[in-house]
Amino acid sequence: MSTNMTALDFCLLEGHVPSVNPRHQAAFDGAGACARCGRKLDSRTMARDLEWERKQVHAAAEMAQYVANAADIANALNSFRERRMGEGPWRDLPRAWITECEEEAADLANYLLAQLQELGDDRDDEDHAKCQMLLRMALAASVTAFAALGEYRRTDL
């Protein structure tokens, strides 16, 4: 048995059913212990408040441009991000959150540019024009996010 085992590894040894996503394999309470077996979590974690996160996404959806049904979009985003992240804590702390966000904004821009290039300009129909417009709106959102993160970096907190 390795001495570098995580709390999650111990939980799995205790017979907890594994999931495809490691973040889903153990539910953690706010006290820094596994809710299933009570083992202490690594101190480099931060408990998440899922209800607070959901409210923040809903508030942001209300502020977002070009979002027709903010509540439905916020619910869809919350559902998608929670499937990806699970309910576990933030890990591998401390982290440079703003740098990570800037990287994700750049990745989003790159993926959208690739899709735009793949879509091409060789068609002249309404559906094609709509798809280009939607991709460019998403690209504009990545530019807006990147700009806001830059402003955040310049604030004196």
pLDDT in tens, 71-86: 999 999 999 999 998 8
| Regions in the chain scoring below 50 on pLDDT | 1-2, 17-31, 41
Predicted pLDDT at 10: 61
Predicted pLDDT at 99: 92
For residue 95, give every residue at least 6 positions away whose Cβ sits within 8 Å of its Cβ, in sequence order, or none: none
Q: pLDDT digits over 11-26, tens only?
A: 666 655 443 334 444 4
Mean pLDDT, the chain, whole residue set: 81
Half-sphere exposure in the Cβ direction for 49 (13 Å, CA): 6
3-state SS assignment for residue 91: coil
Predicted pLDDT at 122: 87
Question: Tokens representing 6?
Answer: 């995580």
H-helix or E-strand spanning residue 144: helix 126-154
Predicted pLDDT at 124: 83
Burial state string for 82-116 with b = 16 or more CB within 10 A and e = fewer than 16: beeebebbeeeeeeeeeeeebeebeebbeebeeeb
For tokens 């966000």, name the residue.
101
Assess contact for 67 and 57: CB atoms under 8 A. Answer: no
Alpha-carbon gap, residue 40 to 22, rounded angstroms: 17
For tokens 């690739």, name the residue.
114
Assess contact for 139 and 109: CB atoms under 8 A. Answer: yes
Could you write out the DSSP letters of every residue in 68-90? Answer: S-HHHHHHHHHHHHHHHH-SSPB
Predicted pLDDT at 17: 45
